Structure 1
């Protein structure tokens, strides 16, 4: 199933009234921040999880065992939140390296949390075994049209709040947010800049290869952006004329995160600061006519290191 704009429109109706409408904050001349880190569960993932869960319930495809997902943290939080909205059980598999703040939040949402392996891929293998054994409905952190379509509702809200926005910068892990945003952006003639850390470049590598490929994962933002492989929809969309793929070093990600706190008192995770790092490094340099929106996509972080 190939992601389409009709999928995003359908998701908009499913999540309306249940997700928090994104706010745009002025951040400089012709620059805005999309404050999606204020979303339920602290990230954009709530949109896709709610769209996935609601659509499956509508189709009568929800087993008694509920939903199972593998996640670096944020997708699991969103899955647990969406399941709780409908009174469903959620079993979440996370790597042993998942930040304690995310694990604690998962448990607070009522999820059955299982920590397996050092990377997302190992947690995903454990989740697949669990699904096979229990009949639970498998969700995914990013690689599903319903998940990506839900994430794409963010672009619809950005356009409504800032109709003059011409360019949106978004951090990329496995590509769910990017795929949804790029699908909706193409409908409205908006440019999308896909930003990845140099050590987590699944989309950039897939674009170069012309197909999804596995990449090593080594970045300060790996807890949120550490997918080994981007989705097929994301790689397909990355080759579109309205999309540009760029990479940034970890040092720039750390600096952008600290600047967000120092100058704006915005505390986000490294994954969310990755998009802004593209402007700081010049990996993406807007023309004088562009009106740019940077998506701050997640806030599930320990902020104690921001003042050190």
Structure 2
């Protein structure tokens, strides 16, 4: 029975008066911040972990939400978990990983290096590697977001890091024969690996991530995500870190939900006029009335961090 095997929940689905008013379209929020482990990552990663529930150990390289989802899934399934985290990982996240019973190994300045260490450990120990975004099981798990919708939207908005969420959303749309529903794929200027790949017509590796949205920090977009831009109406879109910070603050006031910068990127387009601006020039967005916003969640935020970001950009 598959139903008892899922470790994620059917996330709340809720109309937002404030976002609808700000953007001029009807906005429905899929509140993935309510998932166990705090983000949409629980869907894809737990789905993959369930498929490998007889594994001796799960290994994941993520200083963030993928690691938290893997730690949660392992604990639920009774499988030990080792998480490799880059040196940039906050103590906040490391403590959360340890609270879920995971072993945490620090090493590698950035994710790429840290991932190499994880892969080596997998080889030595016969563990199962749980990638943060690039695997068909992960996309399949993430596609359940769309499976839960009651009716067809005119547009889905999501944030893009490595592209695992976007891949799942497109898979979900295709499964429901909603192939014509466009996806607005939002990144910040300093983490725009999808945007640059689409401009260049090939995967591009960014020299560095220069955004506060560190959990969008995949320097190269996933191969599958890039391929999908050729077959599905995907509209890459960029927002500034400053708008992201304004959005975290505004969204907290409006919806009483605190989101991390990576999640706020996709919400920013509804506050800052970007969606309206895109709709005026993009025929695919010409007749959008009902929008599904995936509030992807994430644990990398506190009120203190928000206060510091506001000071950084001189936001009152």
TM-score > 0.5 by shorter chain: yes
Aligned equivalent of 2:171:
183
Q: Is the 8 A contact 1:207 1:239 kept in 2?
A: no
Give the whole-Å Cα distance in 2 for the aligned partners of 1:269 and 1:111: 23
Per-residue deviation at 1:241? Answer: 4.2
Aligned equivalent of 1:220:
212
Give the aligned CA root-mean-square deviation in angstroms: 2.0
Give the whole-Å Cα distance in 1 for the aligned partners of 2:213 and 2:64: 12
Structure 2: unaligned runs, 5 residues or longer: 21-25, 280-285, 311-316
Give the whole-Å Cα distance in 1 for the aligned partners of 2:11 and 2:121: 35
Q: Structure 1 residue aligned with 2:8, among 19, 26, 38? A: 19
The C-alpha deviation readout for 1:153-204, integer Å capped at 9, x for no partner, is: 11222x23xx142211100000001111012223324221100011111111
Q: Is the 8 A contact 2:139 2:171 kept in 1?
A: no
In structure 2, relative to structure 1, the CA distance for the partners of 1:113 and 1:180 (3 Å cut) is same
Structure 1: unaligned runs, 5 residues or longer: 1-11
Aligned equivalent of 2:49:
53
Question: What count of residue pairs does the alignment treat as equivalent?
Answer: 288
Q: Structure 1 residue aligned with 2:88, among 82, 97, 102? A: 97
Aligned equivalent of 1:303:
303
TM-score normalized by the length of structure 2: 0.85
* 1:270 maps to 2:269: no
Structure 1 window deviating more from structure 2 (42-51 vs 27-36): it is 27-36
Per-residue deviation at 1:68? Answer: 0.7
Give the whole-Å Cα distance in 2 for the aligned partners of 1:110 and 1:172: 29
Q: Is the 8 A contact 1:36 1:44 kept in 2?
A: yes
- Superposed, which structure 2 residues align to 1:174-253 within 5 Å? 174-186=162-174, 187-188=177-178, 189-215=180-206, 216-222=208-214, 224-253=215-244
Q: Is the 8 A contact 2:6 2:46 kept in 1?
A: no
Aligned equivalent of 1:145:
136
In structure 2, relative to structure 1, the CA distance for the partners of 1:83 and 1:292 (3 Å cut) is same
Give the whole-Å Cα distance in 2 for the aligned partners of 1:235 and 1:129: 27
* 1:37 maps to 2:33: yes
Q: Residue 203 of structure 2: SS of its match in structure 1?
A: coil
Aligned equivalent of 1:172:
160
Aligned equivalent of 1:71:
62
Structure 1 window deviating more from structure 2 (201-210 vs 134-143): it is 201-210
Give the whole-Å Cα distance in 1 for the aligned partners of 2:5 and 2:40: 14
Give the whole-Å Cα distance in 1 for the aligned partners of 2:240 and 2:147: 30
Give the whole-Å Cα distance in 1 for the aligned partners of 2:203 and 2:58: 26
* 1:111 maps to 2:139: no
Q: Is the 8 A contact 1:38 1:299 kept in 2?
A: no
Per-residue deviation at 1:284? Answer: 2.6
